[in-house]
Amino acid sequence: MSAVLPEFSWGLGIEDTFIPQTRPGLRPLDEYELTAHYRLWREDFDLLAEAGAQHVRWGVPWYKVNPAPGQFDWSWMDEALDHLVNKVGCIPIIDLMHYGTPLWMENAFINHAYAERNAEYAFAFAERYRDLVRYYTPLNEPMVNALFCGRLGQWPPHLEGDDGYVKVMLPVCRGVALTEKALRTANADAVIVQVEAVEYHHSPEPDLAEHVEMEQAHIFLPYDLFTGRVGAGHPLLPFLERNGADEGELRWLQEHPIRVDIFGVNYYAVSGGMWRKGDDGQPAYTRGVTSAQLGNVLRMVWERYGLPMILTETAATGSIEARMRWMDETVAQVRQAQADGIPLHGYTWWPLFDMIEWDYRLESGPLFRYNMPVGLWANKFKVTGALNAWAMDEDGAGQWGPHYAGLDELTRERTPLVDHFRAYATGLR
């Protein structure tokens, strides 16, 4: 029987974005590959214990474990999960989907069979690991997923604009719905921790109140869709219909709402911002929020959905001191929310060790230049020679050479953040 989280759980995450597809000018983005987690996973899991983490948000590279339709390769996953759960004793909250689809899935999220294949994979995983895993995130940050895949065109299927955004969002939400059902069928004890990047939009100008309300509604749109809340009277129903949402798709989501057990809140200094009127009289946006505004976000989610919560991601970049300050201030907001009666059951610093910035996919610089210093442990690169781990040809396409061409083996370096986090996790702060 898989373990149950404590009443309040201190956790860490391991960045697990998987966008394995390439196209001219775009490199694959597999964070486990780029941070050497495939090589260092035992050591990385042991670091969780050293930091005192009780849970870890950790993802499955769907494209690797499901290399062909209906075929699964669990060999690495078997070994890794056994070590994590039975040796380290850390409870996993499994990210089944962290943005990417398998290479064989043509057109990614708009593939006609995406949602069913997603559920098939989820069922296979949950059935195999029901003695090790209880907590699942069907799909990490559906709003961000639809943004990068459907509106910005950076990730497959590379659609752009509001029309593309809706085209991606609807099958993503259908996939979440079918996955939730598949998980509960495979494991009656499954707990659904559905995670979203919750942005906080605000304005000091009363004339912009309606605009801000609509911006905030967009942040919650995927959650509203797969929990069956989008029907007549929803403020964004006209937006969906105007951009091609099929009445049958919307009705299906209303009729098949998922049951979320825990709302996972992801919150950073870039999670929202302020609106003011610009010189032209139109709304102008300045991105950036404070640690103190996390309290507003937690209350907003509680009042909207009435669900227990875990802060599933937070962190800051910058100096060690700045990151410590963000940790202290966000922990204080969590404790205040609890004192105010909000059922908040966990805190997660993301990530355990530094991650690679997503711009790596869009550019051609050497790997170490994209290291983002946010982890309790730092990634240390020793540069020794030529710096091209990715070789572009004259048409702008590319292929992998030796993955760490020009780089000695990446290692982890402990920072003072480890002891700072551990003091919280062990009750010393």
Each residue's pLDDT, cut to its tens digit, for the chain (429 residues) gives: 689 999 999 999 999 999 999 999 999 999 999 999 999 999 999 999 999 999 999 999 999 999 999 999 999 999 999 999 999 999 999 999 999 999 999 999 999 999 999 999 999 999 999 999 999 999 999 999 999 999 999 999 999 999 999 999 999 999 999 999 999 999 999 999 999 999 999 999 999 999 999 999 999 999 999 999 999 999 999 999 999 999 999 999 999 999 999 999 999 999 999 999 999 989 999 999 999 999 999 999 999 999 999 999 999 999 999 999 999 999 999 999 999 999 999 999 999 999 999 999 999 999 999 999 999 999 998 766 544 444 444 444 444 443 444 455 799 999 999 999 999 999 988
Contact predicate 344/334, CB 8 Å: yes
Number of domains in the chain: 1
Residue 281: the pLDDT is 87
Residue 384: the pLDDT is 63
Asked if the structure places residue 122 within a domain, the reply is: yes
What tokens appear for 200 in the block? 């906080």
Residue 408: the pLDDT is 57
Residue 4: the pLDDT is 96
Going by C-alpha positions, the residue among 130, 139, 197, 147 that lies closest to residue 172 is 139
Asked if the structure places residue 144 within a domain, the reply is: yes
Going by C-alpha positions, the residue among 315, 264, 30, 307 that lies closest to residue 135 is 264
DSSP-derived pairing of the beta strands 272-277 and 200-202 = parallel
Residue 385: the pLDDT is 55
Residue 2: the pLDDT is 82
Asked if the structure places residue 271 within a domain, the reply is: yes
The single-letter DSSP state of residue 41 is H
Beta bridge partners of 136: 94, 192
Residue 201: the pLDDT is 98
Note down the domain range covering 317: 9-425
What tokens appear for 358 in the block? 């997503």
CATH number at residue 244: 3.20.20.80
Asked if the structure places residue 35 within a domain, the reply is: yes
Is the peptide bond preceding residue 20 cis, with omega within 30 degrees of 0?
Answer: no
pLDDT in tens, 139-149: 999 999 999 99
Asked if the structure places residue 25 within a domain, the reply is: yes
- The predicted model scores a pTM of 0.94
Asked if the structure places residue 286 within a domain, the reply is: yes
DSSP-derived pairing of the beta strands 91-95 and 55-59 = parallel
Asked if the structure places residue 1 within a domain, the reply is: no
Beta strands in 77-211 (DSSP E): 91-95, 135-137, 191-197, 200-202
Going by C-alpha positions, the residue among 184, 171, 76 that lies closest to residue 118 is 171
Asked if the structure places residue 226 within a domain, the reply is: yes
Residue 400: the pLDDT is 44
